[in-house]
Chain A
Amino acid sequence: MAEPTNVSEQHDYDVVVVGAGGSGLRAAIAAHEAGARTAIVCKSLLGKAHTVMAEGGIAAAMGNVWPEDNWQVHFRDTMRGGKMLNNWRMAQLHAQEAPERVWELEEWGALFDRTDEGKISQRDFGGHRYARLAHVGDRTGLEMIRTLQQRAVDLGIDVFMECTVTRLLLDGQRVAGAFGYWRETGSFLTFRAPAVVLATGGIGKSFQVTSNSWEYTGDGHAMALWAGASLLNMEFVQFHPTGMVWPPSVKGILITESVRGEGGVLRNSEGKRFMFDYIPEFFKAETADNEQEADAWYADHKNNRRPPELLPRDEVARAINSEIKAGRGSPHGGVFLDIASRRSAADIKRRLPSMYHQFKELGDVDITKEPMEVAPTCHYVMGGIEVDADTQAAKVSGLYAAGEVSGGMHGSNRLGGNSLSDLLVFGKRAGESAASYVAGLPSRPAISSRDVQAATDEALAPFSNPGGENPYAVMKDLQEHMQSLVGIIRKGEELELALKEIDRLKERAQHVSVKGSGRSYNPGWHTALDLRAMLTVSECIARAALERKESRGGHTRDDYPQTDPDWGKVNLVLRERRGVIEIAKQPLPVMPDDLKTLFEETH
């Protein structure tokens, strides 16, 4: 096949990892250590990826605080948190391998908080039966990304910073490389690589109120779909129960679940701890139904049941939403999260330093003295690229996915702390699988100049619409529609309306134009390009949400409020054929009997 001549900057690698958050860095380290020539390509500077925002900790059943903890309990918690829709094999591997991945970080220089015995300390989080989250104050994500970043730099892995990948390149049915542009200069480049690991994170930027940064435009989800891979469970979007609400400029910024793990409680405008009113049948046996028992649990997990504030995130987010809708909200449209009256100022500052700092600096609130106002914020997408549980291989040869961009691991709802461990466990697996796939290839795929030309034309299109619409306006409208029509509580007719709006926005996005000084670091152009992926993933979410006629985890239908056991047996799988997104039901993989027994015990 003829070599392309239209983009002269080309790089050859065995494995190209797109994204430099926890899973991307871990995948690159694994691929490099397996002997593959590896590159990391990331949209931001190294070390700024969204992982840095993770606060609470890394869930791993090390048993440092509660020796009773083990992978079976963690596996069970994860499956139950995901309302049993998780890929059981991924949940199993995750629970089994997370401890080693955490210890490995320590070997690479991470400094976690310690127990009195000098082991890694572990904290309580929603949905986890035992205190299980390895943490560093409330900046665990920073510790993790810095450790991985320093490891990758030490290994000398090539890093292409501020470089956006816009298309995967194929040779027939298999991956041949990737196409992208340097943000700084706007010049294009191609990577020739038989294996690509997508580690691009999530989709939160499609929503108005989100804890996610500008990078979360669903690039990996969309590129995989365009390349012929399938997406799983896209209807499941996690709204984190506690985002900031005031002042308006910080709306959506995350407040870590550790606030509740450390003893914080939710109250409505009447001062009532309302979570006791929202304990679902599914979790009744393990949840305290009175304040006395709930408070006693922090010191004695064995003889007390856990407080309802520590129910899985989907339950807490829905409860907060209901309280606000019932008119029992706080002055700025949230509810109160109170740690001030429950823990000493010194403890709060020591255990939750960045929360203290964040509220003090941005909200003029001293959380050691007064409660915070909180409301749900779009945080995480459970859905993602359908992958093989053991290898993270997508349905296109040579394509791998790890972390938030992959689907299946978390079912319909992710437990807090399971994200960071997911990144490590499956980042490593994806990197290793990609390297071994390349090592076993009889011949290397080639990229076609026609594909590169098409990708180039697509990227330059916004420059050829003089007088067209401002891309920021289209993005803003998309965010508003997704928030109001595909948000935390959904209805059939609203989802249909959303799909119509998305169609209209797609049309508008064809005609956006870029103003200003060309291709050098031009955010208007970047936004115009990001819109394509954002619109694709938004459509996937709305389509899947319309299809799933039940409520489960991160998908709540006002018109189908019950959890339906029949829907509990299937995943929704999305594919794109000739520009049209198709949706199909697919039976869940069957869990082996020895794992099934873990769910038979009563509590």
Chain B
Amino acid sequence: MSRDLSMRVWRGDASGGDFADYTVPVEEGEVVLDAIHRLQAEQAPDLAVRWNCKAGKCGSCSAEINGKPRLMCMTRLSSYEESETITVTPMRTFPVIRDLVTDVTFNYEKARDVPAFAPPGSNAGGQFRMQQVDVERSQEFRKCIECYLCQNTCHVIRDHDENKPAFAGPRFFIRYAELDMHPLDTVDRRQMTQEHEGLGYCNITKCCTEVCPEGIHITDNGIIPMKERVVDTKYDPVFLGLRIGRRKDRRPVGPAAGSGPSPIKRPGRGTSAQPAAALAGAASVTATSTGSPGATGTATLAPAPPRSAPAGAIDKVASAASPDTLKTALPAVGAAAGVGLLAWAIRRSRRK
């Protein structure tokens, strides 16, 4: 059941680009990535696209298909009308490298900030004991395949590059939540999640949850509980303080990434369209040791500079009003109590 599919694919690089129209023969049961592969094999061998597993497990082939952030390997052609033109564009939040490939270094730099899991001691001989019910909450977040569609969708950074230094994004909020919910972890990342990673910027519109191909409840199970936990560290209304089993023995920590050169190496930019003959001296940096900056070119994605605390979760949850007015307002205590109540109510309702 072969047919011809009309496709529009964005072609270009950092300097600009445009849509190219193609007609691609496709077969029954195929996904968008199949059509892209056939296009590549038969018509456009230089079409740049990332992919690996082709089974929704590696999170490489993220793109925007008819405007929706999706994995190309998990998007069936049959979910569109046969007459429909399928338009594929690269993720918008990240700088384009070429065609459908974007520079997602941002995410790898944010990952460096995460203070690692800190176990209570050695597990030699397998002494750790955890109950299934206790690991399940973190396990949900560990399903993340790092496709970065949630990052791409999040409006805090989608059209706001200026927010990137101060905002880690949904993928990392569930990472912080995962560690905070880990039954054996011994450090406390709550303050830094708020103050350094920008948890407060999130106003829980749930766009990230909507695009997650793994169906992780990013907002409900990750970000909101994390916001509540942050509140716990700051305000402690009596009825919450009485909760049994709260862990008070955890050591607060700050971001893990040091100030030295990033270990995430990327090629020097500006050599992309070099003709074949011009290779000599193309890369301009000569690195001489591990510690030298080498050819990294992550200028726009440098590790987040230290910042004063951004607008807090309290402000966002309690009201949509300007954070600045709320921050200085005397009724903060009242707002906090309100949020505490709200948090408690949400938690209760979820448990049911």
Contact = CB atoms under 8 A, between A and B. Distances in A.
Centre residue among B57, B131, B275 by max chain A CB count within 10 A = B57
Interface of B: 13, 27-31, 34, 40-42, 44-60, 74, 76, 97-99, 101, 103-104, 108, 111-112, 114, 116-117, 119, 122-126, 128-132, 135, 138-139, 142-146, 179, 182, 256, 258, 263-269, 271-276, 279-290, 294-295
Given A47-B146, A514-B45, A118 B265 contact: no
Nearest to B283: A9
Interface in A172-194: 182, 184-189
Given A44-B50, A47-B146, A50-B52, 12 more contacts: A8-B281, A52-B58, A159-B265, A187-B267, A187-B274, A248-B28, A362-B56, A460-B279, A463-B276, A516-B45, A518-B274, A524-B40
A447 B215 CA distance: 50
Given A52-B58, A185-B268, A362-B76, A523 B48 contact: yes
A341 interface: no
Contacts of B53: 48, 50, 52-53, 213
Nearest to B256: A154
B298 to A, nearest CB: 11
A145 B279 CA distance: 35
Contacts of A213: 51-54, 58
Contacts of A100: 124
Interface in A503-535: 514-525, 527
A516 B274 contact: no
A521 B263 CA distance: 22
Q: Looking at A99, A109, A119, A249, which has the most chain B CB atoms within 10 Å of its CB?
A: A249
Nearest to A6: B280
B334 to A, nearest CB: 39
Given A53-B58, A248-B29, A517-B273, A99 B126 contact: yes
A137 B57 CA distance: 13
Contacts of A156: 258, 263
B31 A249 contact: yes
Given A518-B272, A521-B98, A44 B52 contact: yes
Contacts of A52: 52-53, 57-58, 145
Contacts of B274: 185-187, 518-519
A369 interface: no
A246 interface: yes
A588 interface: no
Given A45-B50, A104-B123, A154-B256, A10 B286 contact: yes
A36 B247 CA distance: 38
A114 B135 contact: yes
Tell me if B's interface is mostly helix, strand, loop or mixed: loop
Contacts of B143: 139, 142
A150 B114 contact: yes
Interface in A81-129: 99-100, 102-104, 106-109, 111-114, 117-121
A476 B41 contact: yes
A158 B263 contact: yes
Contacts of A53: 53, 55, 57-58
Contacts of B54: 213, 250, 253
Given A185-B269, A520-B13, A521-B101, A250 B29 contact: yes
B52 A48 contact: yes
A247 B46 contact: no
Nearest to B12: A517
Nearest to B215: A357
Interface of A: 5-13, 37, 39, 44-50, 52-53, 62, 64, 99-100, 102-104, 106-109, 111-114, 117-121, 136-137, 139, 141-143, 146, 150-151, 153-154, 156-161, 163, 182, 184-189, 213-215, 246-250, 253-254, 354, 357-358, 361-363, 456, 460, 463-464, 470-473, 476, 514-525, 527
A137 B142 CA distance: 11
Contacts of B97: 184, 520-521
B19 to A, nearest CB: 16
B53 to A, nearest CB: 5
A153 B111 contact: yes
A518 B40 contact: no
B74 A182 contact: no
B129 A118 contact: yes
A104 to B, nearest CB: 7
B267 A111 contact: no
Contacts of A186: 271-272, 274
Contacts of B129: 117-119
Nearest to B14: A520
Contacts of A142: 57, 142-143, 145
B275 A518 contact: yes
Contacts of A249: 27, 29-31, 34
Nearest to B135: A111
B48 A522 contact: yes
7 contacts: A9-B283, A9-B294, A159-B265, A184-B267, A185-B267, A187-B282, A518-B275
Contact of A248 (B30, B51, B55, B282): B30
Contacts of B142: 111, 136, 142-143, 146
Contacts of A136: 139, 142
Given A11-B294, A249-B30, A151 B123 contact: no
A44 B276 contact: no
Contacts of B145: 52, 142
Given A106-B123, A119-B129, A154 B116 contact: yes
B337 to A, nearest CB: 35
Contacts of B138: 111
Contact of A10 (B41, B135, B287): B287
A108 B117 contact: yes
A37 B41 contact: no
B175 to A, nearest CB: 9
Residue in A143, A187, A215, A476 whose Cβ sees the most chain B Cβ within 10 Å: A187
A9 B279 contact: no
A220 B216 CA distance: 36
A524 B46 contact: yes
Most buried by A among B99, B143, B258: B143
Contacts of B59: 48
Nearest to A192: B288
Contacts of A254: 55
A246 B45 contact: no
B283 A45 contact: no
Task: Output the residue of B44, B45, B117, B144 with the most chain A CB within 10 A.
Answer: B45
A236 B214 CA distance: 35
- The interface centre, meaning the residue of B27, B112, B268, B284 with most chain A CB atoms within 10 A of its CB, is B268
A109 B124 contact: no
Contacts of A464: 276
A12 B108 contact: no
Contacts of B273: 517-518, 520
Q: Which of A8, A37, A470 has the most CB of B within 10 A?
A: A8
Contacts of A6: 279-280
Nearest to B101: A521
A523 B45 contact: yes
Contacts of A154: 114, 116, 256
B290 A37 contact: yes
A460 B277 CA distance: 9
A523 B49 contact: yes
Contacts of B114: 150, 154
